[in-house]
Structure 1
Amino acid sequence: MTKLQMTSDIRGLNEECGLFGVWGLPDAAQTTFYGMHALQHRGQEGAGIVSNDHGRLWQERGLGLLSDVFRDPQKIENLKGDSAIGHVRYATAGTHGIENIQPYLVHFNDYQMALAHNGNITNALTLRKQLEDTGSIFQSSSDSEILLHLIRRSHEKTMKAKIVESLRQLRGGFAFLLLTPEGLFAALDPHGFRPLCIGQLADNQYVVASETAALNMTGAAFVRDIQPGELIKISDQGMQVSHYTNNVTLNIDAMEYIYFARPDSTIYGVNVHIARKKMGRCLAQEQPVPGADLVVGVPNSSLSAAQGFAEEAGLPNEMGLVKNQYIARTFIQPNQDKRERAVRMKLSAVKEVVAGKSIVLVDDSIVRGTTSMYIIRMLKDAGAKAVHVRIASPAFKYPSFYGVDMQTTTELMAANHSLAEMTSMIQADSLAFLSVEGLVRSINLKTPYTGSGLTTAYFDGHYPSPVYDYEASLSDKVAAGLVTFDAEPMAAMPEIISVKKGV
């Protein structure tokens, strides 16, 4: 996965990747295409599908949106077979060439294997150096390829044992799909940083997807969320569920609920729209705006929170901003003038709604702050009397290392400026954020593990695991007592091994 410079991205936060896989279904590639379409919001840089036709794997991939990559119907026709995995990519580590577009397909002398990955491996630099020093030759700059090399080097007898041995060497955030001639494997890191779930089609075939929205798109019924440390094998014999490690906890990335996931997705039993709405309600309780006339949400990921804020505050929830739905979610522009023009192409103010009004502008986050400034300026140019910004998440002060494109604090506004300075910089009449406690309470994740079940390190500096190759970048903050790390989880969960067919 790769990293874009935040200086070139007006939105500031970039999507993770989306995974979809199915086993034992005629026209598997077509269903995979539909599933990936529901996950397009998770990555717009590239897309690919690998299919399995009686043990022979076929690949199609390319740069751009899913509709661009598979514009020619023949590409889907080329993907023969009754099993497939697909990937839509927004990169968090590596470069932007076709060599980094997944799923990867590798050809060994005795078998083929394809891999798709969502997340970021935090000991990737160390592992890659060890592998290269002993003869491995990498074809991409992505951390995802490391697992393929580890599997090939394993001396274990079975494919499952090779995968287990390899996964135990990885650290960080990862949701993997592996397609082999014998089965479809799905694995989640021991913290559950990334979402991954299982569904079942009408004829009992299993599918795996990053979000439940993709299950809905393909007509699959939700079966279960994949749990931290689990390795799932789906084959002609059914579904086998086991753990590759018992040392697990749950620290799902809070940004899935705040921004990344679709509002119609449900993650670990919590619907994203409902969670965002509760964030908005809590924000109105914690940071009210006396004398405001109406609430305006920034389309699209902030609309649920705006609805919750308006209901709690007893204010009208108006469409003061309209989004051009034909503009891609992430805009990359080289300078400030073009970035501002990009915002105006993407959003427009409704003058008849906002003119003469004191507005509560609800957004999901502020990263660099430039987009907020442009939107506030747009509303005031449309005649708004005042714009009070309320953010339905805590302030971003620390980088992410588990799969979000935010691995430096250099341009995190809240990491470098006081609240008063930020308010002045974005030209707001006031600015306030949801508290970490309010965020956790709003999501209200039910978990058998200790803690909230969420990763909130962006906001409070408390990382639920070491970050290994990245720790040196935080040394000054560790020394100042601003950043802390939990040890890797040690509390064992019971091993679960079961085979299900037609359940």
Structure 2
Amino acid sequence: MEIESLSENKSLNEECGIFGVWNVPDAAQLTFYGLHALQHRGQEGAGIVSNNNGQLWQERGLGLLSKVFADPQKLANLTGKAAIGHVRYATAGSNGVENIQPFMVNFNDMQVALGHNGNITNAKTLRKQLEDEGAIFQSSSDTEILLHLIRRSKKATFEEQLKEALNQVRGGFAFLLMTPDGIYGALDPHGFRPFVIGKLADDSYVFASETAALNAINAEFVRDVEPGELVKIDDHGMKIDHYTDNTELAIDSMEYVYFARPDSTICGVNVHQARERMGKNLAKEKPVAADIVVGVPNSSLSATLGYSQQSGIPNEMGLIKNQYIARTFIEPTQERREKAVRMKLSAVSSVLQDQRVVLVDDSIVRGTTSKYIIQMLREAGAKEVHVRIASPAFKYPSFYGVDMQTSKELIAANFTKDEIKAKIGADSLEYLSTDGLIAAIDLKHRGAGTGLTTAYFDGNYPSPVYDYEKEVANQAVTFQPELKN
């Protein structure tokens, strides 16, 4: 996230991927493979920091992971048995190399590397306080704030300093830190972002944003990092601690709807199966007479399968995706998002000709992609296009680590369903209900409550958003009681 005025920038946030390993030969190479499995979480920059016998070394750059490490010498420079890495989604105007993570700092008594997935909602306030006290920042990222808070702590040990720092930041965060003698993973008190631990051998461990990255390196899943936990991995093994006990799981429902890979499992729920249930619930709630069901590849294909199974309408491949084109949602500018739609999708006219089509998509955010897709379907011969969205209408901004922080970007916050239908050119438009979404993800096994953040759909935020409260001041939103650290 960039610390700037909300009125000056449409999207200030980032949604990223983090990965780290301890006690593994060629740790940086393994981290490269893990990050490759997380490339969908960020495509604007990447970096790796290795630990060779207590000496940290950094390589980072702009672009896809394969571009950043196209020169084999860069990975060759990263020797050692431990490493952490990061893939970043950067917002417009914030793609300087100074913001690429992991950050690495040289304190007078130790080196520290830090990677972050999420958003600190009180970052602007903390940064001003730190600058007033003499801190000098090298980047515009909220991630750097944690390093300053650690160094300003008067606690005796690094772990105590880290705990104190974690208790001062708010919002959604999964932090991955590496020191000369260990790797630390910390998750916010609500667990907004997914974060897991895997194992390669008795004394070799892995941190990752998603279980798909564990599968990519043949690591065994051990456990999720739980809200409020601080987990350390070093030569003595894994130690699970807490920086706060005042926690309540509220994982971001958009991880299940869109962000995570379908082969990932989050909090015990497989993403593909959750999306399939979303499609089934959508078919129950919003049926329509049609000839074929067509999904928008790739994140909607699981929901499309569920809709077809429940409705009995055949599932056809009416849209083909060019697998070499990046995801349009996380393109950093609207112009690039629009141009990317036709580059990445093509319609199959022999499938669509004279058909009444149910077009299943995971979400409508800005509406640009939907408009172009429907136009392509009609040009290919579709007789009717009925849009069914496998999530509720996105009406409220996100502040916990997703690139939607102003309501003016959200088409459902500014127009009625009928107006949106007309704007995108659909014959009908319906959404999955919030109850249908919650039932599809089904986190009842995690205890009381839904275990989900559905604020983007119902305005019920799990915690205050601090520096962003002006943005929601005029909206019908609800804040749950704040968790006190």
TM class by shorter-chain length?
Answer: over 0.9
> What TM-score does the superposition give when structure 1 sets the normalisation length?
0.92
Task: Sort the Cα spacing of 1:340 and 1:60 in 2 relative to 1 into closer, same or farther, 3 A.
Answer: closer
Aligned mates of 1:94, 1:451 — CA distance in 2: 39
Counterpart contact for 2:12–2:91, Cα < 8 Å: no
Q: Are the equivalent residues in 2 in contact too, given 1:94–1:143 (CA < 8 A)?
A: no
**2:483 aligned to which of 468, 485, 489:** 489
Structure 2 residue 117 is the aligned partner of structure 1 residue 118: yes
Bigger shift: residues 62-71 or 325-334: 325-334
TM-score, length-scaled by structure 2: 0.96
| Residue 14 (structure 1) shift | 8.9
What does residue 75 of structure 2 align with? Answer: 76
Residues 104-160 of structure 1 show CA distances to partners (whole Å, capped at 9, x for unaligned) of: 000112111000000000000110000000000000000000000000111111111
Residues 259 and 278 of structure 1, relative CA distance in 2, 3 Å threshold: same
- 1: distance between equivalents of 2:205 and 2:458? 39
Superposition deviation, residue 447 in structure 1: 4.6
Matched to 1:488, the amino acid is E
User: Which range moves more in the overlay, 398-407 or 195-204?
Assistant: 195-204
In structure 2, the CA distance between the partners of 1:232 and 1:332, relative to structure 1 (3 Å rule), is closer
Q: 1:328-343, aligned counterparts within 5 Å?
A: 328-330=326-328, 332=331, 340-343=338-341
Q: Which residue is 1:151 aligned to?
A: 150
- The aligned residue for residue 456 of structure 1 is 454
Matched, 1:19 2:13: no
Tell me the secondary structure at the aligned position of residue 299 of structure 1.
coil
1:39 and 1:71 map into 2 onto residues whose CA distance is 17
* Structure 1 position 446, deviation (Å): 3.1
Secondary structure of 1:380's match?
Answer: helix
Aligned to 1:498: none
The question of whether the paired residues in 2 share the 8 Å contact of 1:8 and 1:335 is answered with: no
1:196 & 1:335 partners in 2: Cα distance?
Answer: 30
SS of aligned partner of 1:318: coil
Mapping of 1:83-482 within 5 angstroms?
Answer: 83-91=82-90, 95-290=94-289, 292-330=290-328, 332=331, 340-477=338-475, 482=476
User: Which secondary structure does the structure 2 equivalent of 1:401 belong to?
Assistant: coil
Partners of 1:7 and 1:123 in 2: how far apart? 18
Could you list the per-position Cα deviations for residues 173-203 of structure 1 after superposition, in whole angstroms to 9, with x for gaps in the alignment? 0000000012100000000001100000035
RMSD of equivalent CA atoms: 2.2
**Superposed CA offset, 1:271-310 (max 9, x none):** 00000000000000000012x0000000000000000000
Matched residue SS, 1:410: helix
Structure 2 equivalent of residue 501 of structure 1? none
- Work out the CA distance in 1 between the residues paired with 2:373 and 2:7: 18
User: Could you say what secondary structure the match of 1:222 adopts?
Assistant: strand
Identity across matched positions, percent: 68
Structure 1 residue 8, shift from structure 2 partner: 11
8 Å contact from structure 2 (residues 434, 454) kept in 1: yes
State the 1:332 CA deviation: 4.6
Task: Give the CA deviation at 1:204.
Answer: 3.6
**Can you list the C-alpha shifts for 1:402-423, whole angstroms capped at 9, x where unaligned?**
0001000112110011111111
Instruction: Assess, with a 3 A threshold, how the Cα gap between structure 1 residues 340 and 177 changes in structure 2: closer, same or farther.
Output: closer
- Following superposition, the deviation at residue 448 of structure 1 comes to 4.2
TM-superposition CA deviations, 1:246-265 (whole Å, max 9, x none): 10000000000000000000
Partner amino acid, structure 2, of 1:489: L
Q: Distance in 2 between matches of 1:355 and 1:333?
A: 35
CA offsets 1:334-353 (integer angstroms, 9 cap, x no match): 776x7554321110000000
Aligned to 1:201, what secondary structure does the other structure show? strand
Between stretches 86-95 and 117-126, larger displacement belongs to 86-95
In structure 2, runs of 5+ residues without a counterpart are none
Point out the more displaced range, 353-362 or 72-81: 72-81
Match of 1:500 in 2: none
Distance 1:241 1:345, change over 3 A: same
Aligned to 1:495: none
Shift of 1:91: 3.1
Instruction: Check conservation: 2:318, 2:348, Cα contact below 8 A.
Output: yes
